Structures are given as structure tokens and as C-alpha cells.
């Protein structure tokens, strides 16, 4: 890691010395994007780190960070590790119980929170996790809020405290193998596992990504940060990679403003998940359909020629001329909607539909699909610029070793592989064996070194937004409802979760009796009143789930999953693949 430094803080400070007063972090202030320079951010990082030490933070202590994407997130993260602490990012969608678990499991000493809205779920969690963190540093003023059940300090007061405190070295004496962050990821048992990522891990990933992106011609790069920074993908590729590249980071305001933010930030590199590309594709296509006429024809022809050029590698002379004309008439306008200077759209976090990837490739927007997981910091492979194969996830990054086990599982080794799971030696031993990370995914290496994912060995569902969902956890919560007998959820690579629901047998008996109906399950699941009762049960069950885990649509089934019909094992475990295959049509209808 000598090129980047000894640790992440030194990597940041090296960029500060190069960039000084050049813009670094951009955020909307009073409706206008305003920047903080590298030097200004470095000063805030130093002062906040000194304040954290005064608040009792010691080397190796964990700090829970609960915030939307914003400059203070990056400053807080850098300040925590500058002070020798370990950042524990938390999703803004976490429930009270989720926060309480993270606080207790990580043993967080302090908490940094953005403001009042997130504090509504955080503060009750802190009360549940009694004996853990009792001090919260708030990024936003909390004027008018009643007395808090914790010790609270404002962002400005913390910076002022830091300015009065003993100075810390700009670059702490941190070893590369010290833990920089604990990023919690869903486990098959339903409880999140804390992935210990070291300075070496993240810097190795940054080095590999830098080596890949050199091919696009790196210069004054601009990133638009959209994914949650609590996700390892954005944490590495959307924060530390830009720092290594001495780039600028614009923070998007939200999903509803992404189109405007693209025009304002004019990013050169954008890292995102398939779901966003799906939404953008749908919006662009619908707008063209509404316009109709010549514009729709030109757009369709652009997609046709672009697709053929990608698949065949060439066009005939007449098509080449027409394609160059369409580049001016159509592709330039589409590129302008993304700011006009995009060099690469990077897709990760979930599988990218080939048709979606081909859509953007055909429109002159290079989309680079990658593959990874939190345990690998997180990027394992990416399609290289100029050599994209949409049916693969590209070759491994520089410094990443991949081999395929006898059962087809993808095994990975290299400096980017995690140190292990926090307080979970058994899970660590299972994941890390003989120096190799067992990914739980099934795949194959092509002769040219490209990696193809063919199946998922583990049951974790990855929705198209990139979020991991434990089916056992969701099904367990839904199954607590007395009206629900069995449930299987589905949603891998999809924008939301759906479910196949078998009503509880006793509930069906009671309902039939109360409504003077015959106990005929096949008829009951089609009865309007019965369906309304089940809808109310699903609504109440959904209330106990986070937004990502909630079931949007479901199909009632009258036949239970049993060993007799082959949909359960002798040990009464669901045979998911067989269930999905048997009810393929019903599942497809739920996404129509």
C-alpha cells in the first residue's frame, strides 16, 4: 500500500496536500450546491477527532454512525479512524430493534447521528441497549426538542471542543491490519454479522479499482454519491476511491431529484445498483414513447444499431454512417441528460439484467457490471472499459485471486478479504478456510479470465437496489401472524419482495365457521372477505419489517408445502428452488 500510504487517514492527507483549497465535498445548501475544500474538510476532521478523544473515545472503540449521505458523514468517518476508533455505519431505514442490536453487538462507545428524524428510532434503541453508548453527537441543531435521555453535543460544539483540545497527529500510527470499520451484513440466521474491514482491505480494493479506471483516462473526476454510505459498495467506491483519485463528491438529494442532481453535478463516474438503471431506462423509454413519430423511430434505430454493434462487433458501411449520425442526433442528447461527461457507469450490489445493460451500452453510456460482497471490501471483479461482456461480471480486480471449488462455489483470496466477523469465530471459520473466502455463490471462470455467476449457493436475497435480505428473518416475522401458516418470499434481482402465502389451517376453519362457509381451502383463497382478512394480516406483519424487507405483493396458496409434495425436506426445511419452479407463473404475475 506504499502508493496510497500506511492507512486510510494517510491516504486522505496525501490528497489534501495535493489538492488544498480545491473543492472536495458538495451538498445542497439553501437550494444550491456549495463545496467544502479538501483543506477545510481536513481541518474539520482533525478538530472532530480531537473532540471524540475528549469525549472518551479510545483506540479500538466503536462509534455508531447514523446519517443520510452528506459531507458530515465523510468527515465523521475520517475523524473516527483518525482518533483510532472503528466506524459502525447504520442504515437510516433501521428499526429500533436493528439499532439496539448494532449498539449491543458492536459495543459502541459513542453515537453520531444526523438529526431529529433518525433520532426518533435511535434514542429508544439506546434505551434498550442499556449500558452501551450514552453520548450522541448530532450533526443538526435540536432546538425545541425536549430533554433527551442521553448526553447530547452539537456538531459545532464538538468542533469548538476539538479546537481547544490537545492536537492529534495528522496521520495516526495505525497499522494496515487494524480494523477501520464494522459493516453489518445480513446472515442466513437472520441476525446481521459485523464484517471487520481493515485499512489494508479497503486500500487494496481502492488500488484495484484505480488500476481498472486508468483505462478511461483519469483526470479531474467527479462522483455523484447516491447509494447509502452504510453500504460497503458506496463506502469504498463512493468515498475512499474518490479520495484516492483526488476527486470531487456531490451528494444526491434523493431518488426523486436524481435527474436534476445529474445535471447539476455532471459526474464523470457514477457507481450505483441495477435498480437505478432500471428506473432510468423505464423513464427514458416512456418519454420517447410519449413523443412518438420521428423521434421514437430515431431512438429505436439507435438502440438497434448500438445493440448490433455490441453483439457483432461491427456494422456494414451504410449502417456505420447512420450510426454516426444517430450519435449526434440521439446519443449526445441522452448523454447530456447525465451531465454530458460520464466516462463510466459502474453497476454492482446485485445482478444487472443484460437487456438493461445493453440499453445503456447502445446509447453510448458505458456500463461496467461488477461483482462483490461486503466480506471482500467489497469489489471482486468488474468488466473493464472497452472490453465489456454483459453476460459476465468481468475479470478479477488486480490483486484479487479467484478459483472455483469442486462444487462450483466461487472462492476468493487477496488483501481485500475481511479480517473476519466481529464476535463470531464460528462464522469466520466457515467463511475463511485455508486463506480463501467462500462466497456462497456458484460460478465459472471463462478461458479469458472473465467470471460468470450462475447461481447463489446461499439463500440471501439481493434485491435490485443492492440491499441484502435474509429470507429466514422475513419469513419468521411474517409467520408470527396467526393467520399465516407458511410463507416463502422471493425477490433476488427484483425491485421489491413478493411472497407465496399459505393461510393457517386453524384460521381458515374459524373463518369458514364464522362466515357460514364450507371449509374448502381452494375456494376460500379466492373469497373476497377472506382475502381482505389476509391483506390486513399481511399489513400488520409488514409493520414489523424494515422498508426493504416489506412484502409489496403476495399470492395466496391453498396447498401447503409438505414432504409429501416434495416442497420440504425430511428435516422440514423449505426447498426454495423447487417452490420457485412450481409457482413460477404465479411469481411472474406478482411483478406484472
pLDDT digits (tens, 9 = 90+) for 503-521: 988 889 989 989 888 889 8
Q: How many CA atoms lie within 13 A of 141 on its CB side?
A: 2
Q: Does residue 235 carry a pLDDT above 80?
A: yes
Instruction: Judge contact between 389 and 354, C-beta under 8 A.
Output: no
Q: Does residue 187 carry a pLDDT above 60?
A: no
The pLDDT of residue 191: 76
The pLDDT of residue 252: 95
Q: What pLDDT digit, counting tens, does each position of 285-329 carry?
A: 888 988 889 999 999 999 999 999 988 888 999 999 999 999 999
Mean pLDDT of 70-96: 95
Residue from 170, 167, 161 nearest 135 by CA? 161
The pLDDT of residue 569: 63
The pLDDT of residue 133: 85
The pLDDT of residue 438: 96
CA 511 – CA 52 distance, rounded (Å): 59
The pLDDT of residue 572: 62
The confidence band for 1, taking pLDDT boundaries of 50, 70 and 90, is very low
Q: What pLDDT digit, counting tens, does each position of 56-76 carry?
A: 999 999 999 999 999 999 999
Q: Does residue 387 carry a pLDDT above 80?
A: yes
Domains and CATH numbers, the chain: 1-21+37-174 (3.40.50.980), 470-590 (3.30.300.30)
CA 464 – CA 159 distance, rounded (Å): 39
The confidence band for 351, taking pLDDT boundaries of 50, 70 and 90, is confident
The confidence band for 13, taking pLDDT boundaries of 50, 70 and 90, is very high
Q: What pLDDT digit, counting tens, does each position of 238-289 carry?
A: 999 999 999 999 999 987 788 899 999 999 999 988 878 887 887 898 889 8
Instruction: Judge contact between 4 and 11, C-beta under 8 A.
Output: yes
Q: Identify the three-state secondary structure at position 368.
A: strand
The pLDDT of residue 146: 61
Q: Which residue has the higher pLDDT, 186 or 510?
A: 510
Residue from 419, 445, 467 nearest 180 by CA? 419
Mean pLDDT of 466-479: 83
Mean pLDDT of the residues in the chain:
91
Count of H-run helices and E-run strands, the chain: 22, 26
Q: Identify the three-state secondary structure at position 360.
A: helix
Q: Does residue 190 carry a pLDDT above 60?
A: no
The confidence band for 144, taking pLDDT boundaries of 50, 70 and 90, is low
Q: What pLDDT digit, counting tens, does each position of 557-584 carry?
A: 999 998 778 887 644 668 888 899 999 9
Which pTM was predicted? 0.83
DSSP letter, residue 168: P
Burial of 521 from C-beta contacts in 10 A (0-12 / 13-18 / 19+): middle
The grid coordinates listed for 243 are 479520495
Q: Does residue 150 carry a pLDDT above 80?
A: yes
Q: What is the largest CA-CA distance in the chain?
A: 80
Amino acid at each position: 500500500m506504499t502508493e496510497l500510504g500506511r492507512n486510510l487517514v494517510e491516504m486522505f492527507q496525501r490528497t489534501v496536500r495535493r489538492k488544498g483549497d480545491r473543492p472536495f465535498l458538495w451538498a445542497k445548501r439553501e437550494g444550491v450546491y456549495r463545496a467544502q475544500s479538501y483543506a477545510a474538510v481536513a481541518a474539520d476532521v482533525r478538530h472532530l477527532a480531537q473532540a471524540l478523544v475528549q469525549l472518551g473515545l479510545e483506540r479500538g472503540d466503536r462509534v455508531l454512525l447514523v446519517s443520510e449521505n452528506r459531507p458530515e458523514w465523510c468527515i465523521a468517518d475520517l475523524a473516527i479512524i483518525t482518533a483510532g476508533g472503528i466506524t459502525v455505519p447504520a442504515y437510516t431505514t433501521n428499526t429500533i430493534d436493528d439499532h439496539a442490536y448494532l449498539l449491543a453487538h458492536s459495543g459502541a462507545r459513542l453515537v453520531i447521528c444526523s438529526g431529529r428524524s433518525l433520532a426518533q428510532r435511535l434514542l429508544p434503541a439506546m434505551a434498550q441497549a442499556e449500558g452501551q453508548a450514552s453520548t450522541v453527537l448530532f450533526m443538526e441543531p435540536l432546538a425545541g426538542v425536549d430533554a433527551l435521555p442521553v448526553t447530547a453535543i452539537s456538531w459545532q460544539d464538538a468542533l469548538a471542543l476539538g479546537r481547544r483540545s490537545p492536537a492529534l497527529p495528522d496521520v495516526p500510527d495505525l497499522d494496515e491490519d487494524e480494523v477501520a470499520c464494522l459493516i453489518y451484513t445480513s446472515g442466513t440466521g437472520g441476525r446481521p454479522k459485523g464484517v471487520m474491514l481493515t485499512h489494508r482491505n479497503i486500500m487494496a480494493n481502492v488500488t484495484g479499482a484505480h488500476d481498472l479506471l486508468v483505462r478511461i483516462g483519469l483526470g479531474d473526476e467527479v462522483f455523484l454519491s447516491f447509494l447509502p454510505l452504510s453500504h460497503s459498495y458506496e463506502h469504498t467506491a463512493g468515498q475512499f476511491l474518490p479520495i484516492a483519485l483526488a476527486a470531487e463528491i456531490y451528494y444526491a438529494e434523493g431518488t426523486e431529484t436524481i435527474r436534476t442532481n445529474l445535471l447539476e453535478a455532471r459526474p464523470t463516474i457514477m457507481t450505483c445498483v441495477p435498480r437505478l438503471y432500471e428506473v432510468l431506462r423505464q423513464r427514458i423509454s416512456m418519454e420517447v414513447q410519449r413523443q412518438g413519430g420521428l423521434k421514437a423511430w430515431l431512438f429505436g434505430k439507435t438502440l438497434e444499431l448500438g445493440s448490433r454493434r455490441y453483439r457483432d462487433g461491427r456494422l456494414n458501411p451504410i449502417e456505420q454512417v447512420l450510426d454516426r449520425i444517430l450519435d449526434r442526433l440521439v446519443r449526445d442528447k441522452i448523454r447530456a441528460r447525465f451531465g454530458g461527461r460520464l466516462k463510466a457507469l459502474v453497476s454492482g450490489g446485485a445482478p444487472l439484467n443484460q437487456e438493461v445493460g445493453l440499453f445503456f451500452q447502445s446509447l453510448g453510456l458505458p456500463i461496467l457490471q461488477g461483482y462483490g460482497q461486503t466480506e471482500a471490501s467489497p469489489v471482486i471483479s468488474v468488466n473493464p472499459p472497452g472490453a465489456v461482456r454483459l453476460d459476465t461480471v468481468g475479470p478479477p480486480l488486480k490483486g484479487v485471486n479467484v478459483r472455483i471449488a469442486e462444487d462450483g462455489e466461487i472462492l476468493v483470496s487477496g488483501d481485500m478479504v475481511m479480517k473476519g466477523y466481529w464476535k463470531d469465530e464460528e462464522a469466520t471459520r466457515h467463511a475463511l478456510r485455508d486463506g480463501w473466502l467462500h462466497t456462497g455463490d456458484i460460478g465459472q471462470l471463462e478461458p479469458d479470465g472473465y467470471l460468470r455467476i450462475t447461481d447463489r449457493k446461499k439463500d440471501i436475497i439481493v434485491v435490485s437496489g443492492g440491499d441484502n435480505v435474509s429470507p429466514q428473518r422475513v419469513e419468521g416475522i411474517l409467520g408470527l401472524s396467526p393467520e399465516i401458516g407458511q410463507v416463502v418470499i422471493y425477490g433476488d434481482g427484483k425491485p421489491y419482495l413478493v411472497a407465496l402465502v399459505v393461510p393457517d389451517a386453524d384460521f381458515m376453519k374459524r373463518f369458514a365457521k364464522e362466515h357460514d362457509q364450507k371449509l374448502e381451502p381452494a375456494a376460500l383463497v379466492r373469497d373476497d372477505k377472506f382475502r381482505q382478512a389476509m391483506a390486513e394480516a399481511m399489513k400488520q406483519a409488514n409493520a414489523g419489517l424494515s422498508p426493504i424487507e416489506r412484502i409489496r405483493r403476495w399470492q395466496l396458496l391453498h396447498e401447503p408445502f409438505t414432504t409429501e409434495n416434495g416442497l420440504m425436506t425430511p428435516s422440514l426445511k423449505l426447498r426454495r428452488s423447487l417452490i420457485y419452479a412450481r409457482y413460477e407463473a404465479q411469481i411472474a404475475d406478482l411483478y406484472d
